[in-house]
Amino acid sequence: MLKQLTQQDLFELFDRLAEQYHLLMPTLLTDGSRELMPWPGSKAAAIDGIIPSMAGEPIQRKPTSHFFPQTDPLVFLKPDGTVSVPQPPDKPLALCGLNREDLAAVAFVDRFFSAEPADDVYLAKRSGALLIGLSGHCGDGSHGDHFLPLAQGLCDIELIAEEPNEEKKEQEKQWLAVVYNAVGEQWLSGFAAGSPQRLELLRHKSVTMGHQQQELLQQASRLLQADQVPDSFWQEISSRCIRCGGCNFVCPTCTCFCVQDRTTTAGTQRSRIWDSCQLDAFMREASGHNPLGTELLRTRRRIHHKLVDDPKRWGEISCVLCGRCDRACPTGIGMVAVCEELVRRFTS
Amino acid sequence: MNGNKPSEMNATLTTCPYCGTGCNFYLLSGSDGRLSGVEPAAKHIVSKGRLCMKGWNAHAFVHHPDRLSTPQLKRDGALQDCDWDTALATVHQRLQAIADRHGPDSLMFFSSAKVSNEENYLMMKLARAGFSTNNVDHCARLCHSSTVVGLAETLGSGAMTNTLDCFDHTDLVFVIGSNTTEQHPLIGGRILQALRHDTKLLVADSRKIRLAQHANIHLRHHNGSDVALINGMMRQILVDGLEDRDFIARRTENFDALRDSLEPFTPEYVAAITGLEPQQIIDATRLYAGADNAMIVFAMGITQHSHGVDNVRALSNLALMTGNLGRPGTGINPLRGQNNVQGACDMGALPNVYTGYQQVADPQARLKFSTAWGKELPETPGLMATHAIEAAAAGSVRGMLIMGENPMLSEPNQTLVRKALENLDFLAVIDIFPTETAQLADVVLPAACYAERDGTYTSTERRVQRGRQAVETPGDARADWRILCDLLQRCGIKANYESPAQIMDEITTLTPSYGGISYQRLEGGHGLQWPCPDADHPGTPILHQEQCTRGKGRFSPTRYRPPKELPDEKYPLLLNTGRTAVHWHTGTMTRRSHLLHREEPHAFAEVNPQDAGQLQICDRQLIRVSSRRGSIQLKARLTERVPAGQIFIPFHFAEGAANVLTNNALDPESGIPEFKVCAVRVEPC
């Protein structure tokens, strides 16, 4: 299904979605970053002058955090021995504005948490959630002027921003909507049909952009698998790691967590919280022995996991090239930075 | 348990509660009013979408079950819940009764580098106007009081001269006595990034800290030998003719006295004191003085000595001699430890000054404040925190109000501190957790943490920034400013502020350097760097540009004095104390944050393998460390990070408290204790 939407149509769609979903939209925060925040409703948006920030830099916080948050309650244990689990969501989430990298990350994490034994805490939030992808003329320029087209199956609805027309105001912007499944069709059925030729044109423009960094990851992966990278390299990289954990916390495909118990007279709240493999305690055993007991091993593992281990287990590199770890690393040793250095130095 | 709403529905921009770097992040919370996480502010001028491990976990302690939520009063020897009116009336009446009977100076007020500017202002107003004493101080006494004295004398302002962006524009960074990547991680990260672009790095630290691995030269001089090292470098600069003669002539005074004082500090003499090779001193000198623009960065390794002020003077002399002042990428840059230790000093939570360093001994300043507050004010400077502890132990200080500090673990010589606090007629504590200090209190007032109140904080680069309330306080806990307002009212001082913004409005009218700061201006941007004298002023990233704050930069000669207690036959090892990357000070917050606590769950001592061999100690073995003041047990961590002859113990852990051992030898001018040097003995348990 292909539809054509005006900005007004879009707001109408959002209002309708917000009745049945917790709809989160890209929103400009006071510091200038974009985050997925609750859609205030078109009336409130008009009154407060809030418009969804559909164009701009990638969403700051990894969108997978909405299904796998930094702190996630698991069970509550009462002193009388009874156990309660969190209530299911009163309505499912709808995340709007995900680019191709973010959607690829959700797909990866879906596979991870759906594998047996399935993670019911994740699936309780993920099941029934609606994903609205975004492509077309709404990037920040870092990938050219476009986000890349979204692969079918990664989202329910894809919104494609038409080329901005300088004579037109932002409110008159036009959108194409590609619908990938029945749920999407249910929401878009009432809108005007879009032009396949127009879609073809936008697709053609986007495809020519390409993703050069994909090849960089592949090269790095091959070098690592062929054991071409000596430990001295990892020693050097790890000496620049200040153990902030940011690379893990911002990574949309990182799924490691640890368990935290907090006890009051009312009982014990057990939650899971994001963990970081860059911490010494990540794999430290009760004896004190630590199979990842050096910075070198931990730094190497972070890159190996994404470029060697995950391809073996899941058939794909689990870095989606969202760029978050490179932006979050205080010392410049995010995934792309490390791979660039690695490929430059060890490609014969 | 509320699990049916998304947990990241709200995002509140605020300033990190840990170190003085001034990072901003969003606190994420759900509709249940619970914090669920942290996201660094991507566009903030300091954090730039990055945080350290503590910052990433800054939400984690906020809802901890140990949070104090009800006022408590000691009855029958135990703290018991009571109502606010009873608690506040008791605090006011008991402190007033002590003041009436023994004089106002028998009271001591501990303010806090963890609370806002507005709250520090109210605390010093409470001491001065409410109880007529200048006995108000806070933990800057333990960290950068030497800096405030040393830089005020030589330059006229005790704050970081430059701005953090300068790390991107410097040719050389000289880090001395600062483990920057662990204690100011985002600043340490910037230094590491700068090295990728040809900036040089000189590190002087007895420990092999991370920055040392990347340094062009790493000097492992003996703890406490800094004055000799810096004087030796300056003498060598003159020998090599690397001084900035034009700068010295135009912008400084007292150079001849300095030059004369340097004569004895030959490389050989300095080598004998510092344990370095003479050539290392010469090489380091040429590296520093050969840079066009060089930044000096220092922290506790410089200040926490019985000659801490002299250490700071020597560094200031070095910057002046080479003309590294008043330009981008230069300066003398003390890294302030706490998120608001700069602000607490700025707000006059110090015994000798009102806000903006206006002297209490100055009749005009006193008149200004007494007119504004409607109360006669005392003229004699008050007691420093460290002296107040001694005075309490001796019985001349009898009542204390301590807000957001834990001197039981943070002050040197814990035995003396316990004696002092137990000796008091009355102790009231305002805090968020039942700290070791709160356990000794007669009244405990439960406060709001950073995530539960509005306010402003001033970072190490003098950047005044907003903190914003994201969630409600637990139970009946109240924001510190509300507690202080109530006490002020009970003292008959008008304090009916409706918000911290109103308090700031009062501060700005009394404080020239904060004159142009308002909540409205702080709302939109990235804060304002003082001095910011009026509403149109853009703030001042770099101090001393045309001239120093005091006019001419003053060379202040120093002579080498060894630490008060050096290793000897009975106590043969040197004890160095400090912090780890994952814990904060006395651990009240970080030891209640799961990931941080898990990373460093136990007290430990870094021991050099060479010493360990002689002592027959293996890694992770329980050891006993003793000094003349006490003895503790903790685990040994064998590492080359410490040189042979030295052990390092972080002071976070109550069960292996480094400050049982430390020496309360104080710098005569700043009152700072010698946390970095004392003599200990190590034995296997």
ipTM attached to this prediction: 0.95
Q: What is the mean pLDDT of chain B?
A: 96
Q: Which amino acid is at A180?
A: Y
Provide mean pLDDT across the span A54-72: 92
Return residues 41-70 of B near A (CB < 8 Å): 41-44, 49-53, 55-56, 59-60, 63-65
> Of A84, A243, A329, which is closest to B53 when you measure between CB atoms?
A243
Contact A332 B192 (CB under 8 A): yes
In this predicted structure, the answer to whether residue B2 has a pLDDT above a threshold of 50 is no
Query: B376: which DSSP letter?
Result: -
Cα(B251)–Cα(B244) distance, rounded to whole angstroms? 11
Cα(A170)–Cα(A176) distance, rounded to whole angstroms? 15
Q: Which CATH architecture has domain B161-335?
A: 3-Layer(aba) Sandwich (3.40)
Convert the pLDDT of each residue in A212-252 to its tens digit: 788 999 999 999 999 999 999 999 999 999 999 999 999 99
Cα(A52)–Cα(A87) distance, rounded to whole angstroms? 30
Work out the minimum CA distance from B231 to partner chain A, whole angstroms.
Answer: 32
Contacts of A93 in chain B (CB under 8 A): 6
Query: B130: which DSSP letter?
Result: I
In this predicted structure, the answer to whether residue A331 has a pLDDT above a threshold of 60 is yes
Contacts of B595 in chain A (CB under 8 A): 245, 258, 273, 275-276, 279, 281
Listed residue (B471, B412, B463, B422) closest to B442, CA to CA? B422
Q: Which amino acid is at B520?
A: Q
Contact A332 B581 (CB under 8 A): no
Residue pair A271/A259 in contact by the 8 Å Cβ criterion: yes
Listed residue (A333, A329, A332, A308) closest to A318, CA to CA? A308
> Of A24, A30, A281, which is closest to B599 when you measure between CB atoms?
A281
Alpha-carbon dihedral of residues A115, A118, A123, A126, nearest 10 degrees? 0
Interface probe for A, chosen from B2, B15, B27, B36 (most Cβ of A below 10 Å), is B36
Contact A328 B49 (CB under 8 A): yes
**Which two structure tokens, joined as six digits, stand for B405?**
């500090």
Cα(A330)–Cα(B49) distance, rounded to whole angstroms? 9
Q: What is the pLDDT of residue B1?
A: 39
Contact B7 A72 (CB under 8 A): yes
Contact A246 B51 (CB under 8 A): yes
Angle made by CA atoms A335, A340, A346, in degrees to the nearest 5: 120
**Alpha-carbon torsion B162, B164, B170, B175, what sign?**
positive
Cα(B664)–Cα(B680) distance, rounded to whole angstroms? 14
Cα(A2)–Cα(A15) distance, rounded to whole angstroms? 20
On whether any CB of chain A is under 8 Å from the CB of B361, the answer is: no
Q: Which amino acid is at B268?
A: E
Cα(A245)–Cα(B40) distance, rounded to whole angstroms? 12
**Residues contacting B352, CB < 8 A, separation 6+:** B134, B359, B360, B361, B381, B382
Angle made by CA atoms A216, A217, A222, in degrees to the nearest 5: 100
CA distance from start to end of chain B: 46
CATH code linked to domain B72-139+339-525: 3.40.50.740
Partnered with residue B575 across adjacent β-strands are B647, B678
Contact A71 B186 (CB under 8 A): no
Q: What is the pLDDT of residue A51?
A: 62
Contacts of A73 in chain B (CB under 8 A): 1, 3
Contacts of B7 in chain A (CB under 8 A): 69, 71-72
- State how beta strands B455-458 and B443-446 pair: unpaired
Q: What is the pLDDT of residue B524?
A: 74
Band the pLDDT of B169: cuts 50, 70, 90: very high
Interface probe for B, chosen from A28, A31, A261 (most Cβ of B below 10 Å), is A31
In this predicted structure, the answer to whether residue B3 has a pLDDT above a threshold of 60 is no
Closest Cα in chain B to A32: B43
**Alpha-carbon torsion B30, B31, B32, B33, what sign?**
positive
Convert the pLDDT of each residue in B543-557 to its tens digit: 999 999 999 999 999
DSSP track, B175-197:
EES--HHHHSHHHHHHHHHHHTT
> Of A60, A262, A280, which is closest to B64 when you measure between CB atoms?
A262
Cβ burial B245-265 (10 Å sphere, 16+ → b, else e): eebbeebbbbbeebbebbeeb
B191 phi, psi to nearest 5 deg: -65, -45
Query: B157: which DSSP letter?
Result: -
**Which two structure tokens, joined as six digits, stand for B519?**
């909540």
DSSP track, A9-62:
HHHHHHHHHHHHSEEEEEEE-TTS-EEEEE---HHHHHHHT-----SSSPPSS-
Q: Which amino acid is at B142?
A: L
Listed residue (B199, B206, B270) closest to B239, CA to CA? B270
In this predicted structure, the answer to whether residue B82 has a pLDDT above a threshold of 60 is yes
Convert the pLDDT of each residue in B650-679 to its tens digit: 999 999 999 999 999 999 999 999 999 999
Q: What is the pLDDT of residue A210?
A: 55
Residue pair A176/A151 in contact by the 8 Å Cβ criterion: no
CA distances to A254, A336, A341, B619 from A344, rounded to whole Å, are 26, 12, 5, 39
Residue pair A113/A129 in contact by the 8 Å Cβ criterion: no
Query: A64: which DSSP letter?
Result: G
- Give, to the nearest 10 degrees, the angle between helix A335-346 and helix A231-238: 140
How many inter-chain contacts (A to B, CB under 8 Å) are there?
A: 161
Return residues 415-434 of B near A (CB < 8 Å): none
Contacts of B40 in chain A (CB under 8 A): 246, 328
Contact B56 A244 (CB under 8 A): yes
Partnered with residue B295 across adjacent β-strands are B173
Q: How many CB atoms lie within 10 A of CB A28?
A: 15
Q: What is the pLDDT of residue B526?
A: 87
Work out the minimum CA distance from A56 to partner chain B, whole angstroms.
Answer: 13
Listed residue (B619, B625, B649) closest to B572, CA to CA? B625
Band the pLDDT of A287: cuts 50, 70, 90: confident
- Give, to the nearest 10 degrees, the angle between helix B278-289 and helix B226-240: 70
Work out the minimum CA distance from A331 to partner chain B, whole angstroms.
Answer: 5
SS3 content of chain B, % helix, strand, coil (to 5): 35, 20, 45
**Residues contacting B569, CB < 8 A, separation 6+:** none
> Of B5, B24, B51, which is closest to A244 when you measure between CB atoms?
B51
Sheet holding B10-15, edge to edge: B10-15, B24-29, B35-40
Cα(A295)–Cα(B213) distance, rounded to whole angstroms? 14
Work out the minimum CA distance from B290 to partner chain A, whole angstroms.
Answer: 26
**Which two structure tokens, joined as six digits, stand for B646?**
């030295």
Contact B1 A76 (CB under 8 A): yes
**Residues contacting B589, CB < 8 A, separation 6+:** B17, B61, B433, B449
On whether any CB of chain A is under 8 Å from the CB of B140, the answer is: no
On whether any CB of chain A is under 8 Å from the CB of B192, the answer is: yes
Cβ burial A75-101 (10 Å sphere, 16+ → b, else e): bbeeeeeeeeebeebebbbbbbbbbbb
Contact A31 B52 (CB under 8 A): no
Q: Which amino acid is at B234?
A: M
Contact B192 A89 (CB under 8 A): no
Cα(B232)–Cα(B269) distance, rounded to whole angstroms? 8
Convert the pLDDT of each residue in B258-296 to its tens digit: 999 999 999 999 999 999 999 999 999 999 999 999 999
Q: Which helix (H) or strand (E) holds B627?
A: strand B622-627
Residue pair B197/B277 in contact by the 8 Å Cβ criterion: no
Cα(B647)–Cα(B627) distance, rounded to whole angstroms? 12
Contacts of A258 in chain B (CB under 8 A): 594-595, 598
Does domain B10-56 fall into CATH 1.10.275.10? no
Which one is the CATH code of B573-684: 2.40.40.20, 1.10.375.10, 2.60.40.10, 2.60.40.420? Answer: 2.40.40.20
**B127 or A143: which leads in pLDDT:** B127
Closest Cα in chain A to B24: A31
- Give the residue ranges of DSSP H helices in B164-307: 180-183, 185-195, 210-213, 226-240, 245-251, 255-262, 267-274, 278-289, 300-303
- State how beta strands B294-298 and A2-6 pair: unpaired
Interface probe for A, chosen from B12, B32, B56, B596 (most Cβ of A below 10 Å), is B56
Residue pair B134/B351 in contact by the 8 Å Cβ criterion: yes
Q: Which amino acid is at B16?
A: C
In chain B, domain spans: 10-56, 72-139+339-525, 161-335, 573-684
In this predicted structure, the answer to whether residue A336 has a pLDDT above a threshold of 80 is yes
In this predicted structure, the answer to whether residue A142 has a pLDDT above a threshold of 60 is no
In chain A, domain spans: 2-208, 213-346
Q: How many residues are listed for chain B in this entry?
A: 685
**Which two structure tokens, joined as six digits, stand for B574?**
């040197």
Provide mean pLDDT across the span A253-265: 96
Q: Which helix (H) or strand (E) holds B72?
A: strand B72-75
Provide mean pLDDT across the span B306-324: 98
Cα(B54)–Cα(B593) distance, rounded to whole angstroms? 9
Query: A241: which DSSP letter?
Result: -
Band the pLDDT of A87: cuts 50, 70, 90: confident
Contact A246 B56 (CB under 8 A): yes
Contact A249 B620 (CB under 8 A): no
Alpha-carbon dihedral of residues B283, B287, B288, B294, nearest 10 degrees? -170
Q: What is the pLDDT of residue B106?
A: 98
In this predicted structure, the answer to whether residue B9 has a pLDDT above a threshold of 90 is no
Band the pLDDT of A56: cuts 50, 70, 90: confident
In this predicted structure, the answer to whether residue A309 has a pLDDT above a threshold of 80 is yes
Contact A35 B11 (CB under 8 A): yes
In this predicted structure, the answer to whether residue A141 has a pLDDT above a threshold of 60 is no
